[in-house]
Chains A and B, each alone.
Chain A
Amino acid sequence: MSSASRPPGEPGLLLRAVLALLLLAAAAGVALALVAGQVAPGLSGAVAAALPDSGASNPVTAVLLNFRGYDTLLEMAVLTAAVVGVWSLGPAPRIRETEPSPVLLGMNSVLIPLAPLICAYLLWAGSSRPGGAFQAGAVLAAAGVLFIISGRRPAVHLPAAPMSWGIVAGLGVFLAVALAVMPGGRELLEYPRGLAGALILLVETAATVSIALILAGLFIGGRPEDEP
């Protein structure tokens, strides 16, 4: 495409060429590091050695909730901040009150009751097998999304306040547990040995509920109507 026929504002050939050169240089650097670089031993040995005391037998869950608990604590803070950001932009756009298709309603009547079951399984399995709070929360949130796009309102009118409390519950419980283990000379988030499993399950349960509500709140796209 010549510059004469190019519509106004289209990026020029020069920009494309410079961008391509920069990207190729970055790719070459990373490829060199991957092929020629030293392979570090990694941390799987250290994680496996500390696993019996961590309160979870799935190493990924142990890393998420115990060894690198700070990450997950701050991640809950990021999620809460994101939903506060989205809600502060304005009220939720209305979902048009059209009659939803029977296919969606039929699917909902099968999938929505199944979701809490899958959620509970993923949450419980997370300590020893693949699964965990984030996956469980996402499954529950998916049920919420399906319910929202069906356009049906709950039979009981739910005020928005419990939703706000649920959204901060994950962060709040995590923070409370992190601080509550501190008496007795322990660091922040350093669970006592015998209690680690129970505390992780408590934190994960609160996080699951919060993540589900946060993801559903993000999907709504704004402040629920009766929220002050």
Chain B
Amino acid sequence: MSSALLYAGAGMGLLLVGVWALVLRAHLLRKVLAINVMGSGAFLLLVGAGAMGGGPVDPVPQAMVITGIVVSISATALALALVLRIAYATGKAALPEDRERDLMDREGR
């Protein structure tokens, strides 16, 4: 078992945790966190799988991941601005079908 495989497996795990929280948590900020964790998992899977061959580390997945990190921060920022709009318009930072739910967050509903 190599450490590259270990990190690729961890990326898979992060992807699962992220999807789980994205579906089941109601607060929109939490969903944004979940999408970010999913993205990190995908990046780790990409670079980890690319490093499994041994030898020098492949720079192409690394460059793609740097691009991905920057794209994900811009998507996150846009999503957060939209979350604020929803929260100001409806009084609750949740999707319409989740309005009835307890957001399970002591702060900021």
Q: Report which A residues bind B (CB closer than 8 A).
A: 7-11, 15-16, 19-20, 23, 26-27, 30-31, 34-35, 39-44, 47-48, 59-60, 62-64, 67-68, 71-72, 75, 78-79, 81-83, 85-86, 89-90, 93, 132, 134, 211, 214-215, 218-219, 221-222
Contacts and interface: CB of A to CB of B under 8 A. Distances in A.
Contacts of A42: 50, 53, 55, 58, 60
A41 to B, nearest CB: 6
Nearest to B23: A19
A90 B9 CA distance: 42
Contacts of B74: 78-79, 81-83, 214, 218
B81 A85 contact: yes
Contacts of B23: 11, 15, 19
Interface residues of B, number: 46
B99 interface: yes
Contact of B5 (A34, A71, A219): A34
Cβ-closest 5 pairs across A and B: A82-B74, A9-B100, A218-B77, A59-B59, A63-B63
Given A34-B49, A71-B64, 15 more contacts: A11-B24, A19-B19, A27-B16, A35-B5, A41-B53, A43-B60, A44-B55, A44-B56, A47-B59, A48-B56, A62-B59, A63-B59, A68-B63, A218-B77, A221-B84
Contacts of B33: none
Interface of B: 5, 8-9, 12-13, 15-16, 19-20, 23-24, 45, 49-50, 52-53, 55-60, 62-64, 66-67, 69-71, 73-75, 77-78, 80-82, 84-85, 97-102
Contacts, number: 124
Contacts of A35: 5
A208 to B, nearest CB: 12
A34 B9 contact: yes
B78 A82 contact: yes
20 contacts: A8-B101, A23-B19, A27-B16, A30-B45, A34-B12, A41-B53, A44-B59, A60-B59, A64-B63, A64-B66, A68-B60, A71-B64, A75-B67, A79-B74, A82-B77, A82-B78, A93-B84, A211-B70, A215-B73, A221-B84
A223 B102 CA distance: 33
A68 B67 CA distance: 10
